Structure 1
Amino acid sequence: MQLVVGRIGRAHGIKGDVTVEVRTDEPELRLGPGAVLATDPASAGPLTVETGRVHSGRLLLRFEGVHDRTAAEALRNVLLIAEVDPDEVPEDPEEFYDHQLIDLDVVTVDGTEVGRITEISHLPQQDLLIVTTADGREVMIPFVAEIVPEIDLEEQRAVIDPPPGLLDPERAEIASERDGT
């Protein structure tokens, strides 16, 4: 199975280094020197990691055959894809691969059915579970422990404890107007 593990950002310096937006909790395993990564678009790769380092909180990688700024800039916005055994699970029991979460049923802590996870959106601040409700609406659920206290892979469900207005923003607006806030 293929997993997106990063997105190439800007070139850094003149020797072919690029910044990488990391999309894996295991960058040392997936993005270490010698790692061979498929790409999206496929025409940009495959890419082999030559060197890697952290600079000012950002991961910088250099790929074999990319040794100047022009070649590095040509890779901007390319997705890096690692081949992963589908039975592999993250070491931390509180971490999940996207494919483990897609298609999980979503219910509230009181058992109310909400919908199904259709996508995971990886943002710089946090990840979002994109849930399609029974009536076809899309709801974005912040993937944080306070709102998603339980992921049960055996039961194929995610339990959420949504704050007021998360599932029905129109009601939250009405309540806000009524309360004068």
Structure 2
Amino acid sequence: MAPRSAGKPDATGARVCVGQIVGVHGVRGLVKLKSFTGDPAAIADYNPLTDHTGTRRFTVELQSAMKDYWLARVQGVADRTAAEALRGVLLHVERDRLPPPEDEDEFYHADLIGLPVLRPDGERIGTVVALHDFGGGDMLEVVLPDRRTAMVPFTRAVVPVVDVAGGRIVADPPEDLLAPPGAPDRDDDDDDGGDHGAGGREGA
């Protein structure tokens, strides 16, 4: 499963976060820009970007790609002091400017936030509040009815249905993934032998 853009929608859903200014470089106003778009270089295609309120606008020019960020120039920022003032700023784009996903297994992170997560039999598991990648593949952060959160692997095996248009996600996580801390493990005899492994969304 390959979400095309990270980040969350703002309170109105009108904007999506596509990047963040995470630091500065040198004395000539360059910033360190972390891109959340599927193609990191595509963030510049959405110029001008805005802050979360939509009132401040930023035009960025990518200079060179580093390991986890771009060195970039922000129009009108010419020295380190001005660049420092932008540290931590989240960069947004209007939701209607984003292209639709190109295939059925591509989703915008923002489209998944707030969707209910249901078991195959329709029982509600919880609600998606975030999507993370900790290095081993995407994980859905789901708030459960008792207000705990659980990390659900975002794979075909565990999440067979993502119905954005219908406003639902169908998941079949193993029971121990949702169990409260300290809950006893299920007996081996109860194991049905099913494979709930975290295979990539690209294949079962």
Task: Say whether the fold is shared (TM-score over 0.5).
Answer: yes
Matched, 1:23 2:36: yes
Q: Could you say what the CA RMSD is over the residues aligned between the two structures, in angstroms?
A: 3.1
Identity %: 37
Distance in 1 separating the partners of 2:77 and 2:98: 33
1:110 offset after TM fit, Å? 5.3
Deviations 1:5-60 (A, max 9, x none): 0111111233222222222224433324x7111114767x3111133431235322
Aligned-partner residue type, residue 64 of structure 1: Q
Higher mean C-alpha displacement, 4-13 vs 50-59: 50-59
Q: Secondary structure at the match of 2:126?
A: strand
Deviations 1:152-174 (A, max 9, x none): 22432212232452111436x52
Unaligned regions of 5+ residues in structure 1, if any?
none
Q: Secondary structure at the match of 1:89?
A: coil
Structure-1 residue corresponding to 2:112 = 101
Distance in 2 separating the partners of 1:64 and 1:41: 19
Aligned-partner residue type, residue 174 of structure 1: P
Distance in 2 separating the partners of 1:57 and 1:68: 23
Structure-2 residue corresponding to 1:65 = 76
Unaligned regions of 5+ residues in structure 2, if any?
1-13, 189-204
Deviations 1:43-85 (A, max 9, x none): 7x31111334312353222111112223222211110011131
Residues 143 and 59 (structure 1), Cα distance of their counterparts in 2 relative to 1, 3 Å cut = farther
Matched, 1:174 2:184: yes
TM-score (structure 1 length as normaliser): 0.75
Residues 61 and 87 (structure 1), Cα distance of their counterparts in 2 relative to 1, 3 Å cut = closer
Q: Secondary structure at the match of 1:65?
A: coil
Structure-1 residue corresponding to 2:50 = 38
Structure-1 residue corresponding to 2:150 = 139
Q: Secondary structure at the match of 1:71?
A: helix
Q: Secondary structure at the match of 1:85?
A: helix
Structure-1 residue corresponding to 2:61 = 50
Q: Secondary structure at the match of 2:61?
A: strand
Q: CA contact under 8 A between 1:120 and 1:127: conserved in structure 2?
A: no
Aligned-partner residue type, residue 36 of structure 1: P
Deviations 1:114-144 (A, max 9, x none): 1222x22445535543323334433332434
Distance in 1 separating the partners of 2:84 and 2:178: 41
TM-score (structure 2 length as normaliser): 0.68
Structure-1 residue corresponding to 2:87 = 76
Which structure has more strand as a fraction of its residues? 1
Q: Secondary structure at the match of 1:31?
A: helix
Structure-2 residue corresponding to 1:12 = 25
